[in-house]
């Protein structure tokens, strides 16, 4: 409806002199077979005839009628002559102009091509984006050349040159094809690689010289695109490593401090994710205007929720099982089952939707085949901030001093007055809260469900053991290293074999270096 209103205003407000479209051109575009109509349309578009834009838009809106050799544009109960733009009386025998899909595609391409000459930069960008989706023909080259000569923006100029070469690569003229292939060889677009691959088909190109040029150009383009794929794999690995770091950082504290094999650690991740889900729903219901800020509130809520659950676990169950690793493992496994069933009872067994804020949606387009999502960039930055905060807490605060003292020599710390039981509770709550932060981050990139933690508990223990029990630096190296290694192997051997190969690597590494990447330092006999 809006397009029709705009068209109506154009038709009645433009002076008659602006309609330089001749009656012969209007008739040729509106009648005849598809090839003749498209040829006439491209000819008129190449000359950028005034009045062609409104006429093409009217054809797309099915507002054009034909009576003999006259063409009319109809809006409501009024009609104008398609060529002159002057008011006209619509004959009763006038018939609708029918456009098939091929003609409609040509009309859309012509309308977008006419906008290439617009003085507005954004209009030209939208026109180029639309034309890149269309199947262009050599008859449209004159208009592209005119737009290319007038274009001042470097990015649009490069896109127009690529568009021109894309048309000429299928030209009947061999020299034009070779020149177009040379131009396309400098591209960094994956669409160009697909085009060159299509042209290498036996039924598309038979000339040996042109095929050789196509092969060279395709190899060149693919070699450039390969860098985008490599960077993408490394970025994805760092992103996975950041998630593993958030999942394992709390475990490094609790396992390193108390030697507790906490099989419910994954469920603490799950609690953080569900806390994020609850905060999101509260914002959606009570503060819809501030919805994009919900994640800023969800972060401390996820930390507190998981920390309280962790503290309750430590005070009620785990503190009575210190020094009994098998019983601790079985007890925490039972707690994990209780937590999962509790979540199923409260929220249901199905996954729940957690929506990204607007500022975490989308990504940065680095190359045609490489886009860095904002949510994963934010997770990497968030993991770094959490790591810095934990490092400062451990190194610069009184609680951190107590934690380090109890970690290195529990008996000596108790002898000098440290309340080791309280430190255990605080440390366990801290590690659980960090797990909640990991769950908050995970909610932005994956599904949130009762089984969320099961996917990360084993990997978290592998990170802690590989890095060195109780060593934050080792946890960082192990998490990022395993994340990148896992993604590199996935591209080579598949997801299942990659997991097996990573596990074999860790087993061999631990056999050679049981203390992990960084060994615990202390005076205790166990150190």
DSSP string, 259-277: ----TTHHHHHHHHHHHHH
Confidence (pTM):
0.70
pLDDT value at 526 more than 50: no
Asked if pLDDT for residue 335 goes beyond 60, the answer is: yes
Please tell me the number of Cα atoms within 13 Å of 446 on its side-chain side: 20
86-106 CB burial, b ≥16 within 10 A, e <16: eebebeeebeebebeeebeeb
Q: Residue 197: inside a domain, yes or no? A: no
User: So what's the pLDDT on residue 34?
Assistant: 85
**Matching residue, tokens 């009575």:** 320
Q: Residue 205 falls within a domain, yes or no?
A: no
3-class DSSP string for 439-482: HHHHCCCCCECCCHHHHCHHHHHHHHHHHCCCCHHHHHHHHHHH
Are 341 and 424 part of one and the same domain? Answer: yes
The confidence band for 19, taking pLDDT boundaries of 50, 70 and 90, is: very low
Least confident of 68-77, 261-270, 298-307: 68-77
- Average confidence (pLDDT) over 151-180: 79
* Domain assignment of residue 527, yes or no: no
**Structurally, how many domains does the chain consist of?**
2
Task: With cut-offs at 50, 70 and 90, classify the pLDDT of residue 137.
Answer: low
Of 345, 322, 313, nearest to 257 by C-alpha is: 322
pLDDT at 139: 66
Gap between the Cα atoms of 275 and 272, Å rounded: 5
pLDDT at position 162 over 50: yes
Which position has the higher pLDDT, 228 or 268?
268
Chain-wide mean pLDDT for the chain? 81
d(CA 489, CA 496): 10
Rounded to whole angstroms, how far apart are CA atoms 184 and 311? 62
Mean pLDDT of 5-12: 43
In the structure, how many helices (H) and strands (E) does the chain have? 21, 7
Helix/strand/coil for 204: coil
In this structure, the answer to whether residues 302 and 379 fall within a common structural domain is yes
Domain membership flag for residue 162: yes
The partner residues of 365 in beta bridges, in order of sequence, read: 371
Same domain, 300 and 400: yes
Q: What domain range includes position 133?
A: 2-190
Across 211-215, 370-374, 515-519, least confident range: 515-519
For 28-42, 160-174, 345-359, which range has the lowest pLDDT when averaged over its residues?
160-174
C-alpha triplet 268, 270, 271: angle, nearest 5°: 65
Domain end position, chosen among 190, 219, 253: 190
Range 80-107 average pLDDT: 82
For residues 182 and 239, state if they share a domain: no
Asked whether the beta carbons of 269 and 519 are under 8 A apart, the reply is: no
Residue 62 has pLDDT above 60, yes or no: yes
In this structure, are residues 221 and 362 in contact, taking their beta carbons and an 8 Å threshold?
no
Backbone CA torsion sign across 305, 307, 308, 314: positive
Question: In CATH, what number is assigned to the domain containing residue 407?
Answer: 1.10.3470
Residue 112: predicted pLDDT: 76
**Stretch 127-150: mean pLDDT:** 73
């Amino acid at each position: 409806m809006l397009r029709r209103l705009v068209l109506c205003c154009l038709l009645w407000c433009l002076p008659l002199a602006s309609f330089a479209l001749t009656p012969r051109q209007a008739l040729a575009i509106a009648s005849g077979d598809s090839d003749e109509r498209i040829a006439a349309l491209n000819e008129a578009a190449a000359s950028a005839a005034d009045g062609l834009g409104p006429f093409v838009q009217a054809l797309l809106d099915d507002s054009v009628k034909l009576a003999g050799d006259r063409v009319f544009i109809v809006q409501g109960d009024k009609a104008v002559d398609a060529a002159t733009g002057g008011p006209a009386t619509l004959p009763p025998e006038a018939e609708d102009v029918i456009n098939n899909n091929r003609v409609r595609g040509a009309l859309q391409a012509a309308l977008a091509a006419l906008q290439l000459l617009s003085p507005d930069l954004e209009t030209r960008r939208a026109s180029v984006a639309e034309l890149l989706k269309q199947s262009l023909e050599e008859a449209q080259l004159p208009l592209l050349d005119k737009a290319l000569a007038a274009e001042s923006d470097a990015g649009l100029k490069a896109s127009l040159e690529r568009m021109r070469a894309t048309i000429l690569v299928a030209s009947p003229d061999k020299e034009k094809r070779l020149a177009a292939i040379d131009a396309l060889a400098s591209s960094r677009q994956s669409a160009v690689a697909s085009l060159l691959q299509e042209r290498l088909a036996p039924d598309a190109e038979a000339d040996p010289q042109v095929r050789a040029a196509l092969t060279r150009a395709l190899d060149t383009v693919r070699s450039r695109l390969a860098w985008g794929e490599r960077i993408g794999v490394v970025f994805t690995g760092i992103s996975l490593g950041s998630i593993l770091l958030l999942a394992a950082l709390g475990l490094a504290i609790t396992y390193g401090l108390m030697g507790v094999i906490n099989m419910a650690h994954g469920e603490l991740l799950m609690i953080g994710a569900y806390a994020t889900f609850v905060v999101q729903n509260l914002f959606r219901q009570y503060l819809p205007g501030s919805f994009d800020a919900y994640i800023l509130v969800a972060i401390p809520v996820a930390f507190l929720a998981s920390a309280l659950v962790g503290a309750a676990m430590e005070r009620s169950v785990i503190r009575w099982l210190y020094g009994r690793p098998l019983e601790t493992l079985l007890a925490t496994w039972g707690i994990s089952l209780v937590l999962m069933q509790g979540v199923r009872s409260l929220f249901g067994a199905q996954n729940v939707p957690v929506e990204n804020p607007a500022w975490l949606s989308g990504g940065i387009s680095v190359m045609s085949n490489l886009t860095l999502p904002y949510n994963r960039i934010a997770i990497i930055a968030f993991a770094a901030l959490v790591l810095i905060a934990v490092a400062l807490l451990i190194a610069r605060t009184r609680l951190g001093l107590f934690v380090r003292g109890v970690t290195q020599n529990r008996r000596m710390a108790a002898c000098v007055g440290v309340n080791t039981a309280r430190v255990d509770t605080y440390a366990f709550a801290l590690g659980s809260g960090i797990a909640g932060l990991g769950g908050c981050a995970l909610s932005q990139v994956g599904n949130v469900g009762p089984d969320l933690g099961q996917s990360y508990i084993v990997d978290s223990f592998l990170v802690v053991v590989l890095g060195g029990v109780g060593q934050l630096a080792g946890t960082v190296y192990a998490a990022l290293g395993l994340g990148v290694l896992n993604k590199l192997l996935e591209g080579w051997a598949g997801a299942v074999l990659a997991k097996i190969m990573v596990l074999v690597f860790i087993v061999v590494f631990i056999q050679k270096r049981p203390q992990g990447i960084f060994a615990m330092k202390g005076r205790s006999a166990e150190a």
